Structure 1
Amino acid sequence: MEILFFIIGSLVFGIGVYLIFDHINYVRIAAETKGKVIGYKTSSGSKGGTIYKPVIQSYFGEFTGSYGSSNPSYQIGQEVDVIYIAGKTPRLKSNMPYFVGIFLMIFGGIFCLAFFSIFNFSLWNILYSLGILMLIAVSLRRVLKSKGIDSLDELKEVVKEANKKSEINAKNIIREPEKIQDVHRKNAKATKIVGPVFAIVGLGVLALGINLGIERYHFLQEAIPASGTVVDFHESSSDDGYTYYPIVEFSPNGSFEAITFRHDTGSNPPSYSRGEVVEVLHAPDNPNNAIIDSGIFNWAISIFVGLFGILFASAGIAVSVSTFRKQRNQINL
């Protein structure tokens, strides 16, 4: 069901955009003051680990930072910059909302690209997808109404109240510097390795994406068009099920010899049907080197790989910079 790629991708991309613009608008009119890290609020991570969010003491009282990690970002007692707007919860002065927003935008963009590269834009598929979107929207609306939420403003108020209750509950707050230092020591070796490894792998994947893009560019510059027919599908199994790659038969212009090739992009369900006539592009000196002409989506694989490379490289660089700052702060303290 390709529409799920679009739904998930659009939602994640939208959240990323919201985080960035929300923080830009907050910083634009916020005043700045000083605060001090007095502890860490802990919660369980998605894989059973512990997430640490800094608890800050400022002129406006205690508040918990919006972003946490498995490795505490500050030392207890460390002075930090705080930004605030009257009547709103203060925030740590940090670039983290931008990093998280960009990360989510890239991740969502990958899912949306996957959708557009495998979705078959037929009238039936479009109507079917619209029906699913409407069903999800109606179901979500019913759930919200059952909880007394009739507007976006009311939803924001519910979220704020939940955050306030979370702030009041201070049972999981660590205030002992020794415990946080122990966490730093345990994670020190791992974070020194993880950041550079992610950065190197990401840059390698990005280089692969660029190389694939260059190869595809040269191929498209010289490719000869032809008409072909989908004759079968190659099934590739994985943990998520089967992926169907169309097998196309065509005859190069000026030749009666039938050439059969497997397209380099597959989907589930298949994006084509047996007997469907498709446009083909093939290398002039090697007709076996051919693809289905998908327009702008001829670039899908190189863009997909490149975005993953950017995602990994960004995460690795962010971890490395964060580790360096923590070590510098520990020295200063």
Structure 2
Amino acid sequence: MFDFIFDTLFSFFNTWETLGLLLMGVAFISFGTAFLGYEIYWRLKSERIDGVITAVKAQGKYFYSVFKYKTHDGQELEQDSALGSSSILSRLPGTHVNLMIMPDNPKKIRRPTMIWFVFGTMFLVPGLFIMNLAIKKFEFNYMMALFILAGILFGGEKVFHFYRKITHSKFDRELLSEFWRDIKAGKKPTSEPHEINGEILTKPEIIKHAKSHLKYSKVTTLVLFLISIGLGYWGYYSGQEMIDMTENGLRTSGTIIGMETHDNSDNTGYTYYAIIRFMDENGETHEFTDSIGSSTPLYDRGETVDVLYKPKSPNISIIDRGILNWGISTLAALFSLWALWGSFVFLGAEKRFNNHPIHRSIIT
């Protein structure tokens, strides 16, 4: 009886952890794919035109550009930017900018940026790692079937109530029917660009904000440069270590024998690191602790994993995760380049402001 209760509880928590990893992996991959897909879609579908910033709108702590531009068919339009920033330095009126515009809706515009590629990579790479772990842990059993059934019933009940809510009135039903008719007819849904309900800043206000932001540009330059150096060194060092491990290391199988727990600094729980035991080519047994931990154990006790170790120094060993072994060095290199680019942008901020027409107009 007690064995049955213990096995049931163990299976429940193990399945809960596996589903948690699966959902987390799906969420990270979905966000990463959405960000990357959004940016790729704009790059492939949009056209490039020249424009100029005519004004700046302030909404709370964020600033939004107002663009004036001429389409390829001769239309002159003015439109707010959809993406705001806490800095006004890149949004000074009179700045000539390159814009991306949707040919079928010339009011949908934006400036080229790498921010969506950065966000997409930030979510996609960890998502692939988490999903890889979840797939390895996945085991279809009666408890997994119960969880899936419960999820289907719960989701179905929510969808049913949502459907009843949106079809409660005749107007809603007609609107939904029109939507489905458009989908069947192949008509693409369109959306109007969002208009920023902010205050248009005057020239003195713009200059005041710009000078205030310039005070912190040198500090920001230094911070970003130091971050770039640190991440670059970390990426280079971990990359060189992985190259050496891949070229000179040996692969074998290891077994998870336990978990090493560390208290989180914010007292919100524990971080679990797997302890692995393996046998080298000489038949000697070694143990090491995985360098990657999580709030829930990533492996089960007794689970078999691939191990990569140095034959001359078996104490230097890692869990072999295939291509994901390069995840840390790749992310470090990408963010190092991003921080280096940011440091150069802020380094030249004061010079660009001094040479900008809005600043020269005050001097003259």
TM-score band w.r.t. shorter chain? 0.7 to 0.9
* Whole-angstrom CA distance in 1 between matches of 2:79 and 2:342: 27
User: CA 1:75–1:24 in 2, change beyond 3 Å: closer, same or farther?
Assistant: same
Q: Give 1:160's match in structure 2, choosing from 180, 192, 208.
A: 192
User: CA 1:244–1:308 in 2, change beyond 3 Å: closer, same or farther?
Assistant: farther
User: CA 1:118–1:207 in 2, change beyond 3 Å: closer, same or farther?
Assistant: farther
* Whole-angstrom CA distance in 2 between matches of 1:308 and 1:132: 41
SS at match of 1:210: helix
* Whole-angstrom CA distance in 1 between matches of 2:350 and 2:315: 50
* Whole-angstrom CA distance in 2 between matches of 1:176 and 1:183: 11
SS at match of 1:250: strand
User: CA 1:195–1:156 in 2, change beyond 3 Å: closer, same or farther?
Assistant: farther
Match of 1:16?
Answer: 36
Matched, 1:74 2:123: no
Q: Give 1:102's match in structure 2, choosing from 112, 117, 126.
A: 117
Match of 2:278?
Answer: 250
Structure 2, gaps ≥5 residues long: 1-19, 70-74, 167-171
* Whole-angstrom CA distance in 2 between matches of 1:293 and 1:304: 18
Q: Deviations over 1:9-56 (max 9, x none)?
A: 43234223323432442215xxx4655513x22223xxxxx1100124
SS at match of 1:91: strand
Matched, 1:235 2:261: yes
* Whole-angstrom CA distance in 2 between matches of 1:214 and 1:132: 47
User: CA 1:193–1:132 in 2, change beyond 3 Å: closer, same or farther?
Assistant: farther
User: CA 1:229–1:103 in 2, change beyond 3 Å: closer, same or farther?
Assistant: closer
Moved more, 72-81 or 121-130: 121-130
Q: How much identity, in percent, do the aligned residues show?
A: 20
Question: Which aligned pairs between 1:138-153 and structure 2 lie closer than 5 A?
Answer: none
Matched, 1:213 2:239: yes
* Whole-angstrom CA distance in 1 between matches of 2:134 and 2:188: 33
**More relative contact order, 1 or 2 (CA 8 Å, 6+ apart):** 1
Residue correspondences, number: 313
TM-score normalised according to structure 2 size: 0.69
Matched, 1:303 2:320: no
Matched, 1:27 2:47: yes
* Whole-angstrom CA distance in 2 between matches of 1:280 and 1:217: 15
SS at match of 1:269: coil
Q: Deviations over 1:108-155 (max 9, x none)?
A: 334324424643524438979998998999768986995667679799
Whether the 8 Å CA contact 1:106–1:311 is kept in 2: the answer is no
* Superposition RMSD in Å: 4.0
User: CA 1:136–1:332 in 2, change beyond 3 Å: closer, same or farther?
Assistant: farther
Whether the 8 Å CA contact 2:249–2:311 is kept in 1: the answer is yes
Whether the 8 Å CA contact 2:25–2:127 is kept in 1: the answer is yes
User: CA 1:81–1:311 in 2, change beyond 3 Å: closer, same or farther?
Assistant: closer
Q: Deviations over 1:65-108 (max 9, x none)?
A: 2232112123345566667647530636x433xx2232223223
Moved more, 260-269 or 211-220: 260-269
SS at match of 1:249: strand
Matched, 1:53 2:64: yes
Moved more, 312-321 or 246-255: 312-321
Amino acid at match of 1:182: K
* Whole-angstrom CA distance in 1 between matches of 2:257 and 2:304: 10
* Whole-angstrom CA distance in 1 between matches of 2:149 and 2:192: 33
Amino acid at match of 1:115: I
Whether the 8 Å CA contact 1:222–1:283 is kept in 2: the answer is yes
**Shift in Å, 1:233:** 0.5
Matched, 1:192 2:218: yes
User: CA 1:86–1:60 in 2, change beyond 3 Å: closer, same or farther?
Assistant: farther
Structure 1, gaps ≥5 residues long: 45-49
User: CA 1:250–1:76 in 2, change beyond 3 Å: closer, same or farther?
Assistant: closer
**Shift in Å, 1:180:** 0.9
